């Protein structure tokens, strides 16, 4: 075949590089465009249960008006963002020491600990959530242990027979932290593993205490890992559906349950699409902020 033909080396490389872009357009960008278009339609009793407006301005913002005026949607957004924020902070507080410890152990211990961190991914996500349902029940040993600790720490007048864990926001946050903790640990570990340990040694040689070395050297240099891990935890947990449906309080639902209800039970696809678009916007903002932060960091801090 002549050089410069379609199937030469450069042509094949263009095809290989273009496959991910084609995948992103077909399975990411196109569905987002479809959902966005649905959010400007109106609900009808036909099948499919929506209809586009045929008169100027050819869009309806009724779903977005309901979204920002109906208390159930505002409340569900607040609960989702609150639970996701608390879960992200807890994952950081738990995952950072674990990731830092992974960089301080021997290679053999490191491999074992990494295997233990990814081990939950070898089992079904749904199965792990059901396991916690059994542990958080009122008659479980885990509940009795927490009850004993609670009764020891609080005054005698406030003693409880058992702690109600199931069907609360505490249960949702607890299971979310357990489920998404590896997504915080692994980016942090990848970032901390690349840090130059001689910087810590130099700071200590100059008289810095260990906590000062951590605050002045390790923590700032690990900020990209913190942001990446935070996004990997916050974004999926804010739209979580399975965990709140199984262990949460359905009278105080998260936004994922509301979207599922609008699509399924209420057959109000435009309203569900409007909620999805609003949630996408809320989650894209921190992602854009991180991209800007990373671009500035790579440019040497230039604005």
Query: Does the pLDDT at position 4 exceed 60?
Result: no
* pLDDT confidence of residue 47: 81
Least confident of 5-14, 21-30, 53-62, 127-136: 5-14
Least confident of 165-169, 233-237, 285-289, 293-297: 293-297
Tokens of 257: 């349950």
180 burial level (CB within 10 Å; 0-12, 13-18, 19+): buried
Average pLDDT over residues 274-302: 79
Domain ranges of the chain: 33-69+273-303, 79-267
Mean pLDDT, the chain, rounded, equals: 88
Rounded Cα distance between 197 and 195, Å, is: 6
99-102 contacts: CB < 8 A, separation 24 or more?
99/184, 99/185, 99/186, 99/188, 99/189, 99/192, 99/225, 100/188, 100/192, 100/218, 102/185, 102/189, 102/192, 102/193
Q: What are phi and psi of 129, to 5 degrees?
A: -65, -40
* pLDDT confidence of residue 302: 44
Query: Does the pLDDT at position 225 exceed 50?
Result: yes
For 81-120, write each residue's pLDDT tens digit: 999 999 999 999 999 999 999 998 999 999 999 999 998 8
Q: What is the CATH number of domain 79-267?
A: 1.10.3720.10
């Amino acid at each position: 075949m002549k050089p410069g033909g379609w199937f030469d080396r450069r042509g094949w490389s263009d095809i290989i590089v273009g496959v991910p872009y084609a995948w992103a357009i077909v399975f990411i960008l196109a569905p987002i465009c479809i959902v966005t278009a649905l959010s400007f339609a109106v609900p009808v009793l036909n099948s499919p249960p929506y209809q586009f407006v045929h008169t100027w301005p050819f869009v309806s913002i009724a779903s977005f008006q309901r979204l920002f005026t109906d208390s159930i949607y505002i409340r569900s957004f607040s609960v989702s963002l609150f639970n996701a924020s608390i879960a992200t902070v807890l994952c950081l507080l738990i995952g950072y020491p674990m990731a830092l410890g992974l960089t301080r152990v021997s290679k053999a211990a490191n491999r074992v600990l990494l295997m233990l961190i990814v081990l939950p991914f070898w089992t079904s996500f749904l199965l792990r959530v059901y396991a916690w349902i059994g542990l958080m029940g009122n008659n479980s040993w885990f509940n009795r242990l927490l009850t004993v600790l609670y009764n020891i720490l609080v005054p005698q007048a406030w003693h409880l027979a058992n702690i109600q864990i199931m069907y609360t926001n505490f249960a949702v946050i607890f299971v979310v932290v357990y489920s998404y903790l590896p997504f915080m640990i692994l980016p942090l570990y990848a970032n901390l593993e690349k840090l130059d340990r001689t910087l810590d040694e130099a700071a200590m040689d100059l008289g810095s205490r260990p906590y000062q070395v951590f605050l002045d050297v390790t923590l700032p240099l690990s900020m990209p890992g913190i942001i990446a891990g935070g996004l990997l935890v916050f974004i999926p947990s804010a739209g979580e559906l399975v965990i709140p449906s199984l262990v949460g309080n359905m009278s105080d639902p998260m936004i994922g349950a509301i979207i599922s209800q609008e699509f399924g039970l209420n057959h109000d696809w435009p309203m569900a699409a409007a909620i999805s678009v609003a949630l996408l916007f809320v989650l894209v903002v921190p992602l854009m902020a991180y991209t800007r932060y990373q671009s500035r960091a790579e440019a040497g801090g230039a604005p």
